[in-house]
Amino acid sequence: MSRIGKNPVSIPEGVTVDIKDGQVTVKGKLGELTQQVEGITVSQEEGQIVLERPSDSKDHRAKHGLYRALINNMVEGVSKGFTKELQLVGVGYRASNQGQRLELALGFSHNIVMDLAPEVKVETISEKGKDPIIKLTSHDKQLVGQVAAKIRAFRKPEPYKGKGVKFVGEVLRRKAGKSA
- Look at residues 144, 122, 124 and name the one whose alpha carbon lies nearest to residue 132: 124
| Amino acid 2: pLDDT | 60
Note the pLDDT tens digit of each residue in 53-92. 899 898 998 899 999 999 999 999 999 999 999 999 999 9
CA–CA distance, 1 with 6 (Å, rounded to integer): 7
Q: How confident is the model at residue 177 (pLDDT cuts 50, 70, 90)?
A: confident
Note the pLDDT tens digit of each residue in 91-141. 999 999 999 999 999 999 999 999 999 999 999 999 999 999 999 999 999
| Amino acid 36: pLDDT | 94
Domain with CATH 3.90.930.12 in the chain: 9-80, 82-167
Q: Is the pLDDT of residue 14 over 70?
A: yes
| Amino acid 84: pLDDT | 95
Cα-Cα-Cα-Cα torsion 8, 9, 11, 15, nearest 10 degrees, comes to: -140
Integer distance in angstroms from the first to the last C-alpha of the chain?
58
When pLDDT is averaged across residues 170-179 and rounded to a whole number, the result is 89
Amino acid at position 49, single letter: I
* Helical spans, DSSP H, in the chain: 3-6, 58-79, 141-154
When pLDDT is averaged across residues 12-16 and rounded to a whole number, the result is 91
Q: Are 4 and 67 in contact (CB under 8 A)?
A: no
- Look at residues 93, 104, 103 and name the one whose alpha carbon lies nearest to residue 131: 93
Category of 112 on φ-ψ map: left (φ > 0), alpha (ψ -120 to 50) or beta:
beta
Q: Which CATH number fits domain 82-167: 3.30.70.100, 3.40.50.300, 3.90.930.12, 3.40.190.10?
A: 3.90.930.12
How many Cβ atoms are within 10 Å of 35's Cβ, its own excluded?
Answer: 15
Q: What is the mean pLDDT of the chain?
A: 92
Percent of residues, the chain, with pLDDT higher than 70: 98
Beta-sheet strands, E only, within the chain? 9-10, 16-20, 23-28, 31-36, 41-45, 48-52, 82-89, 94-98, 101-105, 112-115, 121-125, 133-138, 164-167
For 9-80, give the CATH class: alpha beta
